[in-house]
Amino acid sequence: MENTEKTTEEIFTRMATLCSHSEQCSPEIRKKITASGASDNETDEIIKKLIAEKFIDDKRYVRAYIADKFKFNKWGKVKMRHYLRMKGLSDDLIENGLEEIDMEEYREVLIKTMKEKARTVKKKNKFEKMGQIIRFAQNRGFEPELIHRYLNE
Protein backbone atom coordinates (compact mmCIF):
# COMPACT_ATOMS: atom_id res chain seq x y z
CA MET A 1 0.00 0.00 0.00
CA GLU A 2 2.87 2.36 0.84
CA ASN A 3 4.24 2.03 -2.71
CA THR A 4 0.86 2.96 -4.27
CA GLU A 5 0.61 6.08 -2.05
CA LYS A 6 4.00 7.24 -3.25
CA THR A 7 3.05 6.65 -6.88
CA THR A 8 -0.22 8.55 -6.45
CA GLU A 9 1.67 11.42 -4.82
CA GLU A 10 4.24 11.38 -7.62
CA ILE A 11 1.50 11.48 -10.24
CA PHE A 12 -0.22 14.33 -8.40
CA THR A 13 3.06 16.29 -8.24
CA ARG A 14 3.73 15.71 -11.94
CA MET A 15 0.20 16.81 -12.91
CA ALA A 16 0.34 19.85 -10.59
CA THR A 17 3.62 20.89 -12.23
CA LEU A 18 2.09 20.46 -15.69
CA CYS A 19 -0.98 22.50 -14.69
CA SER A 20 1.14 25.26 -13.21
CA HIS A 21 3.03 25.65 -16.51
CA SER A 22 -0.01 25.78 -18.79
CA GLU A 23 -3.78 25.82 -18.45
CA GLN A 24 -5.19 22.26 -18.58
CA CYS A 25 -8.71 20.83 -18.52
CA SER A 26 -9.83 17.92 -16.35
CA PRO A 27 -10.59 15.47 -19.23
CA GLU A 28 -7.03 15.88 -20.60
CA ILE A 29 -5.46 15.50 -17.16
CA ARG A 30 -7.68 12.46 -16.48
CA LYS A 31 -6.28 10.79 -19.64
CA LYS A 32 -2.72 11.56 -18.56
CA ILE A 33 -3.26 10.23 -15.04
CA THR A 34 -4.88 7.05 -16.38
CA ALA A 35 -1.96 6.64 -18.81
CA SER A 36 0.37 6.81 -15.79
CA GLY A 37 -1.22 3.61 -14.55
CA ALA A 38 -3.43 4.99 -11.78
CA SER A 39 -6.69 3.18 -10.97
CA ASP A 40 -10.06 4.91 -11.49
CA ASN A 41 -10.32 5.67 -7.77
CA GLU A 42 -6.79 7.09 -7.63
CA THR A 43 -7.49 9.14 -10.75
CA ASP A 44 -10.64 10.59 -9.18
CA GLU A 45 -8.75 11.45 -5.99
CA ILE A 46 -5.91 13.14 -7.88
CA ILE A 47 -8.40 15.14 -10.01
CA LYS A 48 -10.33 16.23 -6.87
CA LYS A 49 -7.10 17.34 -5.19
CA LEU A 50 -5.95 19.25 -8.31
CA ILE A 51 -9.32 21.03 -8.47
CA ALA A 52 -9.35 21.76 -4.72
CA GLU A 53 -5.88 23.28 -4.95
CA LYS A 54 -6.92 25.32 -8.04
CA PHE A 55 -4.49 23.61 -10.44
CA ILE A 56 -7.44 22.67 -12.66
CA ASP A 57 -10.46 24.86 -13.33
CA ASP A 58 -12.41 23.89 -16.46
CA LYS A 59 -14.26 27.22 -16.53
CA ARG A 60 -10.95 29.10 -16.45
CA TYR A 61 -9.55 26.73 -19.11
CA VAL A 62 -12.51 27.35 -21.48
CA ARG A 63 -12.20 31.11 -21.01
CA ALA A 64 -8.46 31.07 -21.74
CA TYR A 65 -8.84 28.71 -24.72
CA ILE A 66 -11.55 30.86 -26.31
CA ALA A 67 -9.65 34.09 -25.67
CA ASP A 68 -6.46 32.68 -27.24
CA LYS A 69 -8.10 31.07 -30.27
CA PHE A 70 -10.13 34.21 -30.97
CA LYS A 71 -7.31 36.70 -30.43
CA PHE A 72 -4.41 34.84 -32.05
CA ASN A 73 -5.98 32.37 -34.50
CA LYS A 74 -9.06 34.47 -35.40
CA TRP A 75 -11.30 31.41 -34.98
CA GLY A 76 -15.10 31.61 -35.00
CA LYS A 77 -17.41 30.10 -32.40
CA VAL A 78 -18.25 26.99 -34.45
CA LYS A 79 -14.62 25.86 -34.61
CA MET A 80 -13.92 26.68 -30.94
CA ARG A 81 -17.07 24.83 -29.84
CA HIS A 82 -16.04 21.79 -31.89
CA TYR A 83 -12.51 21.58 -30.46
CA LEU A 84 -13.67 22.13 -26.86
CA ARG A 85 -16.26 19.34 -27.26
CA MET A 86 -13.52 17.06 -28.61
CA LYS A 87 -11.59 17.70 -25.39
CA GLY A 88 -14.58 16.34 -23.45
CA LEU A 89 -15.84 19.55 -21.86
CA SER A 90 -19.54 20.09 -21.15
CA ASP A 91 -21.76 22.08 -23.53
CA ASP A 92 -22.86 24.40 -20.70
CA LEU A 93 -19.26 25.29 -19.90
CA ILE A 94 -18.49 25.87 -23.58
CA GLU A 95 -21.59 27.99 -24.25
CA ASN A 96 -20.95 30.14 -21.17
CA GLY A 97 -17.40 30.74 -22.38
CA LEU A 98 -18.53 31.61 -25.92
CA GLU A 99 -21.11 34.09 -24.59
CA GLU A 100 -18.25 36.14 -23.12
CA ILE A 101 -16.99 37.06 -26.60
CA ASP A 102 -17.80 40.68 -27.41
CA MET A 103 -20.15 40.50 -30.42
CA GLU A 104 -18.97 43.79 -31.92
CA GLU A 105 -15.36 42.60 -31.82
CA TYR A 106 -16.46 39.22 -33.22
CA ARG A 107 -18.21 40.96 -36.13
CA GLU A 108 -15.12 43.11 -36.80
CA VAL A 109 -12.83 40.06 -36.84
CA LEU A 110 -15.16 38.25 -39.25
CA ILE A 111 -15.34 41.24 -41.63
CA LYS A 112 -11.57 41.79 -41.46
CA THR A 113 -10.95 38.07 -42.12
CA MET A 114 -13.21 38.14 -45.19
CA LYS A 115 -11.63 41.37 -46.52
CA GLU A 116 -8.12 39.95 -46.13
CA LYS A 117 -9.16 36.79 -47.97
CA ALA A 118 -10.87 38.82 -50.73
CA ARG A 119 -7.55 40.57 -51.45
CA THR A 120 -5.80 37.24 -52.06
CA VAL A 121 -8.50 35.54 -54.18
CA LYS A 122 -7.47 35.44 -57.85
CA LYS A 123 -10.86 34.42 -59.33
CA LYS A 124 -12.37 36.84 -61.82
CA ASN A 125 -15.92 35.52 -61.51
CA LYS A 126 -17.73 37.27 -58.64
CA PHE A 127 -19.59 34.11 -57.56
CA GLU A 128 -16.44 31.98 -57.48
CA LYS A 129 -14.66 34.69 -55.51
CA MET A 130 -17.52 34.95 -53.00
CA GLY A 131 -17.64 31.15 -52.75
CA GLN A 132 -13.96 31.06 -51.80
CA ILE A 133 -14.41 33.80 -49.21
CA ILE A 134 -17.45 32.04 -47.70
CA ARG A 135 -15.63 28.68 -47.51
CA PHE A 136 -12.59 30.35 -45.94
CA ALA A 137 -14.70 32.07 -43.25
CA GLN A 138 -16.57 28.81 -42.56
CA ASN A 139 -13.26 26.93 -42.22
CA ARG A 140 -12.25 29.52 -39.65
CA GLY A 141 -15.39 28.56 -37.72
CA PHE A 142 -17.68 31.51 -38.34
CA GLU A 143 -21.44 30.93 -38.54
CA PRO A 144 -22.88 30.81 -42.09
CA GLU A 145 -25.67 33.29 -41.26
CA LEU A 146 -23.13 35.86 -40.00
CA ILE A 147 -20.86 35.31 -43.01
CA HIS A 148 -23.73 36.00 -45.41
CA ARG A 149 -24.94 38.99 -43.37
CA TYR A 150 -21.55 40.73 -43.44
CA LEU A 151 -20.22 39.46 -46.79
CA ASN A 152 -20.68 42.75 -48.62
CA GLU A 153 -19.25 45.02 -45.92
Same domain, 93 and 107: no
pLDDT bin (cut points 50, 70, 90) of residue 118 is: very high
Whether the Cβ atoms of residue 81 and residue 94 lie closer than 8 Å to each other: yes
As a whole number, mean pLDDT of residues 130-140 equals 96
Angstrom distance (rounded) from CA 142 to CA 46? 37
- Name the band, by pLDDT with cuts 50, 70 and 90, for residue 14: very high
Q: Are 100 and 62 in contact (CB under 8 A)?
A: no
Structural domain that includes position 138 = 103-150
- Which of the 8 DSSP states describes residue 140? T
List pLDDT tens digits, range 43-60: 999 999 999 999 999 999
Q: Are residues 50 and 8 in the same domain?
A: yes
8: pLDDT strictly greater than 80? yes
pTM passes above 0.85: yes
118 and 142 fall within a common domain: yes
145, containing H or E segment: helix 144-150
Query: Among candidates 69, 68, 55, 60, which has minimal Cα distance to 93?
Result: 60
Q: What is the pLDDT of residue 1?
A: 40
Q: What is the CATH number of the domain that holds 46?
A: 1.10.10
Count of domains forming the chain: 3
Question: Based on the domain organization, do 137 and 116 belong to the same domain?
Answer: yes
The answer on 85 and 39 residing in a single domain is no
